[in-house]
Amino acid sequence: MVSAFITLIIFAVVNLIMMLLNNQKGKCELKKAIRLPFFYLLLGCISLVFWIGVLVLMSVFQNGTAFWWVYLIFCIFVLISLSLVLAYLNWRVVLNKNDFIYRTFWRKTYQVAYTDVLDAKFTHNLITLRTKEKSFFIDPHAVGIHKLTQRYLYIHKNKYLNGKAIRLPKIQLWIGFIGSIFFVGLMVYINVFPDSTDSAAKWWVYIGSGLYVLLGLYLILAYQNWFVIMFPYDFVFRSVWRKKYRVAYSDICCVKVCRNVIKLRTKHKSFSIDPHVVGIEYLMQRINK
């Protein structure tokens, strides 16, 4: 229990020292700032109370099973919970006309011009902005992140909206590949050791494994074949079966954005796109132009 409080005090002191040492290069106004979702604070507070409560109960009701490494593990969970709270309170991005102010977890502040950003990578779980000196990492679920994305894409539209390929996330390839290998291995294991599974369940294992192997092969095929390439006035859409369509932006008469799919409709055909594909922001920027 004492170790938990010592850990909290050390963490708080380090955070205070970093806050005082770091030079604030710009004012981070709360009303205009891009911030982490309130869920970070809520989850951090609930987890912090829970794990401290567990440590208190372990200290009060000792039964001889609480070894030092158990306390260490719970202290790590306490630190993670406290990190969520501090991240919500400290981290933010403030947008200005020609630059943005980025404040880190430790309250260190950077003022970055939009033109100094050499490259940007947009994925479902992380946004990375790279300059000559440093890379900046942003949670794509941050409140107001679309403002930064739109500002960046507008300034760099000539660089990023011509000949840019939009592809499926690489996690889809790994899920298909690893899953297929696992279920093929499972079917081989049942054949080599037939006594390990009764005959009634064996057929269900074969059917389920075979279906997932087909799904895995489809995921691999989709990652390899599917893409969208943008050009100044149109884009090329290639399906999973490698069939290509060239579509002018002016021919798109309807755009429907849902949670799990983006539908683009022309007079002759509809195109469905996964909203989690890498670089979808570029296509939406050009369509909404």
pLDDT tier at 27 (50, 70, 90 boundaries)?
Answer: very low
Residue-wise pLDDT for 162-179, tens only, equals 456 788 888 888 888 888
Residue in 253, 249, 252, 257 with CA at minimum distance from that of residue 280: 257
Residue in 81, 86, 68, 114 with CA at minimum distance from that of residue 19: 86
Integer Cα distance of 81 and 42 in angstroms: 10
Which ranges constitute the DSSP H helices of the chain?
Answer: 2-21, 38-60, 68-90, 145-155, 157-160, 170-192, 199-225, 280-287
Residue-wise pLDDT for 178-212, tens only, equals 888 888 888 887 777 777 666 667 777 788 888 98
Q: Work out the widest C-alpha separation in the chain, in whole angstroms.
A: 73
SS3 198: coil
SS3 37: coil
Q: Work out the angle at residue 187's Cα, subtended by the Cα atoms of residues 184 and 192, and round it to the nearest 5 degrees.
A: 125
pLDDT tier at 7 (50, 70, 90 boundaries)?
Answer: low
If one counts every other C-beta atom within 10 angstroms of the C-beta of residue 7, the result is 19
